[in-house]
Amino acid sequence: MKIASHDSAKLRRGRHPEQVILFSVAQQTFAIAAESVQELRSTDSLGGATEELAHEGIPKVRHTFERNHRTYYVVNACLHFGLPVTRPTLVLILRQMRVAVLVDRIERMAEIPAVHPLPLAFSGEERRWYRGLAYLDDHVIPVIAPPGFLKREEFQLLDRASKQSATQREMEGAIQG
């Protein structure tokens, strides 16, 4: 049987270069399209503006914050991807989605030549998590699909829990006042 030699050729499928932000969570590197991210903040700077929120069915969300009269949900990326829980230092606030993502650190900006489809063998939740895979500097890096952070049903559950929580805070404030 033929044993082929080592092949270091770059992936050759259709190329649509795009700018991405490379970030890491629990030693794992991910890429997200730069245009999907509205803002990067430290967790410290966001701390005072957040409210706690607990929904037992969605443990990856523990905090919310208000922006432009909209409630944003803070997703812990470690819990989202099933990685060991770390102490995140940064928040990626996404564009066009009421989601902010807790991450460990930003590695750098990069241009990826293409996003390659996730192999069909990956048939679970990862198909929702990733747009595909990027091949950059001899590394295969999953490219995040921002809508994968929270499903529509999860938004509905969180919106309901958030409203209840706000009502409760108002009542407690009224009693104390």
Partner 1 sequence: MTAANRTSDGSFVLMQLGTRRFALPSDIVAELAPPVRLHSFPHSAPLLAGVIVRRGHVVPVYDVAPILLGRSASQHRFYLIALRDFGKVSEPSAIPVDGECELASAEIQPPDAGQPAYVSGRLTLGGESVDVLDLEALVLSQSFGTGKTDRTEALS
> Using the rule CB under 8 A, is 140 a contact of partner 1?
yes
Q: Beta strand 50-52 with 130-136: parallel, antiparallel or unpaired? A: unpaired
Decide: residue 26, CB within 10 A, 0-12 exposed, 13-18 middle, 19+ buried: middle
In the complex with partner 1, the residue whose CB is nearer, 119 or 173, is 119
Does 68 engage in binding with partner 1 (CB under 8 A)?
A: no
Binding flag, residue 133, partner 1 (CB under 8 A): yes
* Nearest to partner 1 of 127, 163 (CB atom): 127
Could you tell me which of 27, 31, 37 has the C-alpha nearest to residue 115? Answer: 31
Give me the least distance between CB of 135 and partner 1, in Å please: 6
63 part of the interface to partner 1, by CB under 8 A:
no
CA distance 73 to 3: 51
CA distances (Å), 110 to each of 83, 106, 148, in order?
24, 11, 22
Does 49 bind partner 1 (CB under 8 A)? Our answer is no
In angstroms, what is the minimal distance from the CB of 143 to partner 1?
10
Output the CA angle 41-16-20, nearest 5 degrees.
Answer: 15
Nearer to partner 1, 2 or 70 (CB): 2
Residue 30: beta bridge partners? 23
Measured in Å, how far apart are the chain's first and last C-alpha atoms? 82
Between CA 11 and CA 90 the distance in angstroms is 32
27 binds partner 1 (CB under 8 A): yes
- Could you tell me which stretch among 41-49, 55-63, 93-101, 136-144 binds partner 1 (CB under 8 A)? 136-144
**14 near partner 1, rule: CB under 8 A:** no
- Region binding partner 1 by CB under 8 A among candidate stretches 28-36, 53-61, 147-155, 167-175: 28-36
Distance of CA 161 to the CA centre of its chain: 21
Q: What residue ranges bind partner 1 (CB under 8 A)?
A: 1-7, 9-13, 27-30, 81-83, 116, 119-126, 129, 133, 135, 138-142
